[in-house]
Amino acid sequence: MNEVRTRFAPSPTGWLHIGGVRTALFEILFAHHHGGEAILRIDDTDQDRLVPDAISGLIEDLSWVGLHFDEGPSNEEIPLDANGRASGMGIGGPFQPYTQSLRLHRYREIAEQLIGLGCAYRCDCTPERLQEERAEQAARKDPLGYSGFCRDRHVSSQVPHVVRFKIPQDRSMVLADAVKGDVRWDPIILRDPVLLKSDGFPTYHLATVADDHDMRISHVLRADEWLSTAPLHLLLYETLGWDAPVFAHLPPVLGTDGKKLSKRHGATFLRTFREAGYLPEAILNFMALIGWSPGDGEEEEIFSLAELTRRFTLERVNNAGGVFSYEKLKWMNGVYIRSLSAPDLQARLRPFLISANLPIDEDKLGRIIPHIQPRLELLPDAVPLVAFLFTDRIERDMSAMLKKGMDAGTASAICTKAAEQLASLPAFDAASIEAALRRVAEESGAKSGPVFAVVRIAVTGKTVTPPLFESIFALGRQQSVHRLNETVDILKIG
């Protein structure tokens, strides 16, 4: 295969959609599998829909999820944020600029070239005239679209106008799609679409074709929804005498109801998943399996980015849509959390604990990490499990403590003995703590289960926590003894 160059061209009109993550991932996997380059390009020609800071947000989101491009907007191309600061996340490359609003002269040049070839023309139809045309077409039950009124009017360049492409009459087209196979349009049903708007900005059709040619894009992997535009793009390549890239229209990302994934199914933006505590590695692994399979009979589902790159081919991209299962993503996220080293998990939990206003003690957190790690599916799941470590005052579920034959006097005696045992331990570690509390049970003449339940609520405030002995060790001797004695005082008052 010749040089492989792919591109991901998001519009900065908001946060990055999870479907866009899948497209960007496939672009990178395919390019790098073949030793090529993946390019990030910003499609910001729709100026009315631009969102401030969206470009830096897109780049930051892509970086967080682990999608790194070989070429893309330089630091000079990325607008400053609301505070006048540069993002510092630029990429650069030999085909700068990679932001379409900075390439307007090129699009105007090509539009004039097409007019000169007699394949495009200026149109000065007003919005009112276009609306009247559509109304008349609807009344006649004709297909809606531009009538071609200005095709032979030779509209002057000195009046406000758009530039339209002249669709050949009775023309058919076949696209050899790398995913769908041959797709036919016989005839092409298009009505002289606009290439250049009256404000001098191109439409998507002109900009993407021009940039893909200029940046030597060899393969266009894009969402299935763009398939209907393929005939126009192929006609533009043909008219301009350019070689068209290989097109691969990717299957849609569907909800479990078989409909296109949308907010009615749940979260759809990458940033929302990030804030919910998903790991970038899990997101990439999961998204790779939506519409692509590693091989016939392959049951393995956990793949690193390097392994995905090694295995990825367009031949294994499915034509049918792939289902996005939130439950499966959560399961996969738990698998990845359990595979992290303790220091790595501690670092990833820190922002969520800070967000919960917990004053973190790194030593305590480090001691409890191995004991909560198996329980986590999402990073914020750790907050209720460790909150008892980072507060001076806890709320105890006393009703849960005083049940099944456990009265206040017995519970008070257990807490008193437990405090004495822990205070006198020569070595304060989980094994010594377990031995001490088992002695408390023996001396109390009670079963260990009810005794441990009393101590757990006294020390942590909850009935369900990380393992008891490890929780006490993580909290520390002084605070554990203090909370046991505090519980004795509460029981006396009660």
> Mean pLDDT lowest for which of 48-52, 345-349, 378-382?
48-52
Using DSSP's 3-state secondary structure scheme, residue 260 falls into: strand
Specify the DSSP class assigned to residue 162: E
> Mean pLDDT lowest for which of 113-127, 201-215, 251-265?
251-265
The pLDDT, as a whole number, for residue 163 is 98
CA gap 317, 312 in Å, rounded? 9
Which alpha helices (DSSP H) does 215-319 contain, by range? 230-240, 270-276, 280-288, 305-311
Which residue from 229, 254, 234 is spatially nearest to 244, judged by alpha carbons?
A: 234
* Residue in the structure block whose two tokens are 């393929």: 230
Percent of the chain past pLDDT 90, that is, above it, reads 81
Find residue 249's DSSP bridge partners: 222
> Mean pLDDT lowest for which of 174-178, 260-264, 376-380?
260-264
Question: Predicted confidence band at 403 (pLDDT cuts at 50, 70, 90)?
Answer: confident
User: How large is the average pLDDT for residues 188-195?
Assistant: 91
CA gap 455, 469 in Å, rounded? 10
Q: Does the pLDDT value for residue 54 go beyond 90?
A: no
The pLDDT, as a whole number, for residue 90 is 87
What does the pLDDT look like over 121-140, one tens digit per residue? Answer: 999 999 999 999 999 989 99
What does the pLDDT look like over 279-317, one tens digit per residue? Answer: 999 999 999 999 999 886 677 899 999 999 999 999 999
3-state helix, strand, coil in the chain (%, to 5): 50, 10, 40
Classify residue 82 by burial, with Cβ atoms within 10 Å: 0-12, 13-18, 19+.
Answer: exposed
Question: Predicted confidence band at 86 (pLDDT cuts at 50, 70, 90)?
Answer: low
Measured CA distances, 31 to 8, 47, 368 (Å): 11, 30, 42
The pLDDT, as a whole number, for residue 51 is 86
The pLDDT, as a whole number, for residue 78 is 84
The pLDDT, as a whole number, for residue 494 is 64
Q: Does the pLDDT value for residue 380 go beyond 90?
A: yes
The pLDDT, as a whole number, for residue 263 is 77
The catalytic position among 180, 260, 263, 447 is: 263
Q: Does the pLDDT value for residue 3 go beyond 90?
A: yes
Q: Does the pLDDT value for residue 264 go beyond 90?
A: no
CA gap 144, 44 in Å, rounded? 27
Q: Is 180 a catalytic residue?
A: no
Contact 375, 381 (CB under 8 A): yes
